[in-house]
Chain A
Amino acid sequence: MKRLGGYGPGTAVVAVPLGIALAGPLLVGEPTARAASFTLDAGHRLGTDFVGRDVVQQVLLGGRPVVLVALAATVLVYLVALPVGLACALTHRRWLEEVLMRPLDVLLAVPSLLMILLVAAAFPPGKAGLALLVAFVSAPDATRIVRAAAAEAASRPAVEALRMQGESWWRLAVGYVGRSILRTLAADAGIRLTGVLYLVATAAFLGIGVAPDAADWAVMVDRNRTGLIVQPWAVVVPALLIVALTMGGNLLVDAAMERRTPVRKGRRT
């Protein structure tokens, strides 16, 4: 797919939100005294939020949870997807494959946000719970992709040869098949990360897995909406940062995919 430029635009767009998310908490000074809510006076460059906290400080603090939860969820996805996908691709027992893969078809039929809401209604999660939950709804699709890629690699003559040499399952799965599917995995991980980021931010906006006054960009957008008319910065700045983060992330992933792998059709986040 032809776009404007390679890594340039994506890096430019993602640099600011990612920088704030990672370095922001280091730059925050002592929390200032609470002022009146939704004011725009001289002491606060971007005004105050719904409980009178400084918006600049909240913005600096609010990126890290979004990014960290998304990263943790992506890692968790592959902790499930890799072993299950590889086991399915390498096994010669059809029933094992069916037992492992069929339930995923069913999970794919449930809208991901609905699943998150449903589980959250039963067990209100914390940050770790949210990461687990997002990983749980993202895992079926990732598992399918791992399995498809690994099945192709596992049918190569080299695998047959390794088997006849009596190589262990571990060397076969990790040493050969795992290494051959690295590129597909890298591309999929990028797509997965943008999808997970979307789910994490949306869930936080809906109040799942976060405290009602948490320093979190998505929560800021939600809680400060009531003061949008008097004090737009408390909403607009975090919303812009989320837009830049997801948009830039997606541009980067696409640039990377174009460089490293042939076009993959019908992808899904």
Chain B
Amino acid sequence: MNALRSWIARRLLLGVLQTAAVVLLVFGLTEALPGDAAVAFAGDQPDPQRIAAVREAMGLDRPAHERLTDWVVGLLHGDFGTSLTSGRPVAGFLADGFGPTLLLATLTVLILVPVSVGLGVLAARHEGRLTDRLISSATLGVYAVPEFALGVLLVSVFALRLGWLPPTAVGYGTDLLAHPAALVLPVLVLLARPVCSLARLVRAGMIDALAAPWTAHARRYGIPGARIRYGHALPNALAPATQQLARTIDWLLCGVIVVEALYVIPGLGTVLMNAVADRDIPVVQGLAVVFGVATVLLNLGADLVTHRLAPRSGAAA
């Protein structure tokens, strides 16, 4: 129990350090701007008056460490600063985009886990036979395909050619749950890569576990095959897959940005892309912190689950 506690403590400490590093990195990157954020924001038509006004608003005349402290203190209080383009608080932007993105991510993860575990177990049970070869080839092929190419092809077939689904979410506002048809293609595209990578890991883990001496021993004791498969082999096969689930989060966050751009969904990804296009540094910073901290937290969660599933594997800490 003591070892477990110290492991959790070390893992939490790493999470805190990573969060701090993400915040510092975000600040440092925008601090490294040629000129400063105000000049960058003014862009192609530098208007000295406007630059001076932005400098004033962002407090750029003060030393960097003071601004960093202020910003971090603000972050801790949920104050993300003010947008340069609209003068609205950044937290407002985040609140607007949060709903659709959370909906997309939740739906994807809810479908992702059963589908990939199911496919992986199915392939492992038929190892070497046609079902396995089909699943393995398909998951390998789709694994590296960029979401935008896949998504645009699905739109041309299912929305424009067959007319079954709406091509984009334009006109549905932020309440997407009321229009499930508009969610089908985005979630499908988001699922593609993570399902492939997880299914392959589950398959490999399952095959290893079913070939292990302890499985043979359990069989000799007369424990039913289904119980060995799902009660004993599967949890062992899931441990490496949970670690991959954490890495999948990286893909999901990237995927969300692309999918929102592709299907015109007004989520955090769209807010981020607009802010990047407008060079609205405070909004970009705020979103980067939110995305970065979300990744750190989800990785932390996945490591804790992995540790619970297979304590011996000693997940990284």
Contact: A232 with B145, CB < 8 Å?
Answer: no
Residues on A with C-beta less than 8 A from B58 are none
Asked if B243 lies at the interface with its beta carbon under 8 angstroms from chain A, I say yes
Taking the nearest CB of chain B, how far is it from the CB of A139, in angstroms?
A: 15
Residues on B with C-beta less than 8 A from A114 are 253-254, 257, 272, 288, 291-292
Cβ-neighbour of A121 out of B17, B204, B261, B284 (below 8 A): B284
Asked if A1 lies at the interface with its beta carbon under 8 angstroms from chain B, I say yes
Residues on A with C-beta less than 8 A from B145 are 198, 242-243, 246-247
Cβ-neighbour of B240 out of A4, A122, A251, A266 (below 8 A): A266
Q: Which of B116-156 contact A (CB under 8 A)?
A: 127-128, 132-133, 136-137, 140-150, 152-153, 155-156
Contact: A111 with B254, CB < 8 Å?
Answer: yes
Given known A229-B160, A232-B160, contact A202–B133 (CB-CB < 8 A): no
Given known A118-B29, A202-B146, contact A3–B247 (CB-CB < 8 A): no
Contact: B296 with A218, CB < 8 Å?
Answer: no
- The count of chain A contact residues (Cβ–Cβ below 8 Å) is 54
Taking the nearest CB of chain B, how far is it from the CB of A141, in angstroms?
A: 10
Asked if A6 lies at the interface with its beta carbon under 8 angstroms from chain B, I say no
The prevalent SS among residues of A at the interface is: helix
Residues on A with C-beta less than 8 A from B253 are 111, 113-114
Contact: B146 with A242, CB < 8 Å?
Answer: yes
Q: Which of B229-249 contact A (CB under 8 A)?
A: 240, 243-244, 247, 249
Taking the nearest CB of chain B, how far is it from the CB of A55, in angstroms?
A: 15
Given known A112-B254, A232-B156, A266-B243, contact A122–B147 (CB-CB < 8 A): no
Residues on A with C-beta less than 8 A from B250 are 111-112
Contact: A117 with B141, CB < 8 Å?
Answer: no
Contact: B149 with A250, CB < 8 Å?
Answer: no
Residues on A with C-beta less than 8 A from B272 are 114, 117
Residues on B with C-beta less than 8 A from A9 are 137
Contact: A109 with B292, CB < 8 Å?
Answer: yes
Residues on A with C-beta less than 8 A from B14 are 105
Contact: B148 with A247, CB < 8 Å?
Answer: no
Residues on B with C-beta less than 8 A from A247 are 141-142, 144-145
Contact: A121 with B276, CB < 8 Å?
Answer: yes
Asked if B167 lies at the interface with its beta carbon under 8 angstroms from chain A, I say yes
Taking the nearest CB of chain B, how far is it from the CB of A153, in angstroms?
A: 22
Binary contact track B4-45/A, C-beta < 8 Å → 1, others 0: 000000000010011001100110011011100000100000
CA distance A249 to B145 in the complex (A): 10
Contact: A109 with B18, CB < 8 Å?
Answer: yes
Asked if B104 lies at the interface with its beta carbon under 8 angstroms from chain A, I say no
Contact: A228 with B160, CB < 8 Å?
Answer: yes
Asked if B206 lies at the interface with its beta carbon under 8 angstroms from chain A, I say no
Which of A112, A122, A249, A269 has most B Cβ within 10 Å?
A: A122
Q: Which residue of A lies closest to B33 (CB)?
A: A122
Binary contact track A243-268/B, C-beta < 8 Å → 1, others 0: 10011011100100000000101101
Asked if A222 lies at the interface with its beta carbon under 8 angstroms from chain B, I say yes
CA distance A249 to B141 in the complex (A): 9
CA distance A112 to B277 in the complex (A): 19
Asked if B201 lies at the interface with its beta carbon under 8 angstroms from chain A, I say yes
Among A18-26, A40-48, A155-163, A233-241, the one that faces the other chain is A233-241
Taking the nearest CB of chain A, how far is it from the CB of B310, in angstroms?
A: 13
Q: Which residue of B lies closest to A240 (CB)?
A: B153
Binary contact track B240-275/A, C-beta < 8 Å → 1, others 0: 100110010110011001100110000000001101
Q: Which residue of A lies closest to B275 (CB)?
A: A121
Contact: B149 with A109, CB < 8 Å?
Answer: no
Asked if B200 lies at the interface with its beta carbon under 8 angstroms from chain A, I say yes
Contact: B136 with A3, CB < 8 Å?
Answer: yes
Contact: B149 with A105, CB < 8 Å?
Answer: no
Binary contact track A111-154/B, C-beta < 8 Å → 1, others 0: 11110011111110000000000000000000000000000000
Asked if B187 lies at the interface with its beta carbon under 8 angstroms from chain A, I say no
Residues on B with C-beta less than 8 A from A198 are 144-146
Cβ-neighbour of B148 out of A105, A119, A221, A265 (below 8 A): A221
Contact: A221 with B149, CB < 8 Å?
Answer: yes
Given known A113-B257, A246-B146, contact A235–B152 (CB-CB < 8 A): yes
CA distance A138 to B107 in the complex (A): 28
Residues on A with C-beta less than 8 A from B153 are 236, 239-240, 243
CA distance A229 to B161 in the complex (A): 9
CA distance A103 to B191 in the complex (A): 31
Using a CB–CB distance below 8 Å, which chain B residues touch chain A? 14, 17-18, 21-22, 25-26, 29-30, 32-34, 40, 127-128, 132-133, 136-137, 140-150, 152-153, 155-156, 160, 167, 200-201, 204, 240, 243-244, 247, 249-250, 253-254, 257-258, 261-262, 272-273, 275-277, 279, 281, 284, 288, 291-292, 295-296, 299
Can you offer 25 A-B residue contacts whose CB atoms are under 8 A? A3-B133, A4-B133, A13-B141, A106-B22, A111-B250, A114-B257, A120-B276, A197-B144, A198-B146, A202-B147, A202-B258, A206-B258, A221-B152, A225-B152, A235-B152, A235-B156, A236-B153, A240-B149, A240-B153, A242-B145, A242-B146, A247-B141, A263-B204, A268-B244, A268-B247
Using a CB–CB distance below 8 Å, which chain A residues touch chain B? 1-4, 9, 13, 105-106, 109-114, 117-123, 194-195, 197-198, 201-202, 205-207, 218, 221-222, 225, 228-229, 232, 235-236, 239-240, 242-243, 246-247, 249-251, 254, 263, 265-266, 268-269
